[in-house]
Structure 1
């Protein structure tokens, strides 16, 4: 005999409930009202399913799927759902949406702008800054006018391309007569400059006076313009090859610096010569500061490198002996050595600052093992002096001896090169 029972969640039997139901086809099964009674019937029914009494028993439970509905607690206790709370929370910050400019990075537009500036003898100045992560803004100064873009750009290339596009539009509005006048005046000034100072071949002393190539590179980086372009010429002879060089800046001026007829023994010397003319031209136009004044005429400066062949160590008012030693060591690409002192004779006297300064001293310099491997002449105690009164005097005497040794190494390297 098969019977069908239904019960609701409150534990009472309900034939019309839609939550759950079960159907059993067993004779010993009995329905009761309570949930515990129903479970007892299941237990009894399980016990009766023994193979000794029954051959086959069937049990079927039916659990229909009720339709899914949104659970809301507002009708019960006045609570608000989580979704509604998040939507209506006044403390929640609304994220700021910023529309990024999808600018172009076409290199040809930048090149066209610089070529146009070169034709008109105009020097543009870019100022590009990062205002936040991956967001850039910048401005372009040209002909005493400023073009500023305050929008958001993803990279420096995008904003520079946008500035060049605006710059091309601005250059198109210039008066052609004024452009021709500016162009002729620039070419004439350059021609006078070249005829007055730079037509003769540059001497080796002038080439080594300053680091012309780094100065020119720093100028182009500060102005955010392309690096200088060098063109080399080679003349083959029976004994060796000689080189000449010209230098051109993308934006200024039209005529290249240097000459293709002034030949030097090396390519680097020819490059220095053309870079020197470019630097001197920029200084004459006020675009670069003048070279620093050398107080001692026998003391020549070549960038960070210095020449000590004609330097009188006792007559240099601007540099101390320790500074001269550091400069010479840097010129030879060496590491700074260790200066050692040793008391000589009676015990040294204690100075006003508590240091053992007075008395007689021995002093010497020791270089590292790595420098000794590269330069065996630096092995041992270099520039050692004996029994000199005063630690300061001993240090000065030691430095003089060390400079003599380093000068010999410098002359040896120059002879080999």
Structure 2
């Protein structure tokens, strides 16, 4: 501010300005320096100043005296405008190389419906109504000539679409498609997202892959978790793709390759044929549940139930509890590469005879199977042999 005021009082080079200022001094301009000082030294200094100014034909102002004037000093101490006042707090910067989470995507039924409609050449048309201020949404879904209504209300449009998709899945499954199934495609053209959805629709329609999306500048990345491996996501948040769909496809591809390596899918990604129940089997599929014959041994129940639950063959680890008592057996069962199950199941100690010990271990395994079936929404009922 002081620099600005100093620039405002610079002398004007015109002669007209000089004479007007000399004859009519401004009330804000300082008076003759010699009139403000009675001492000889001040008079001498004033005369020397005027002599220099007159030599240049310019008026001489005392800047310090001008700035000391009350009305000018008030300008210097005026509070700055808060709108234009600079702030000392730096704005937080965003590094475009760091992934920014966009939230998880777990619309299992909506993904399954879109995939099924794509295979059948159908187009789902959602009609969502509601008020965002009250978080109250509902609507209907039209697929071809079929309209699916629901009286339920949801908190968001996303939840409404997911709920309507869940109700529509059974209807769309029985509808005829408008085009034939696509032929064999190359590795790059495989619908990895669809393969993963179909697998989980067969294993357990209530659970499916969950994608977590990230923004990398103008690109996207994604990771995918599946129910049988919830703690180890597939994909990477640091690998960029041009679209979310491409990022999802990459994560789904890695998940499908894992399921192929674990023997859950065929090498081409297709679902393995369901094993037919053996004659006299202790466990068989009935509707959406399992029927268990009364009087069956636990070993029979486990052997017949594990493939129906999508599990691999159990391994029984049995051995003598002590070299001094070789007939006293201890052991447990394990399911390799099944992260959703405990490492050791049905552990027993000091059971007489290996056959009896194995039956006791199988009893503990069957209890775990019952909890797993209940978690997946699969009912288990007993029937007479």
TM bracket, shorter-chain basis: under 0.3
Relative to the length of structure 1, the TM-score reads 0.25
Question: As a proportion of its length, which structure holds more strand?
Answer: 2
TM-score (norm 2): 0.27
Taking CA–CA contacts closer than 8 Å with sequence separation of 6 or more, which of the two structures ends up with the larger relative contact order? Answer: 2
Structure with larger Rg: 1
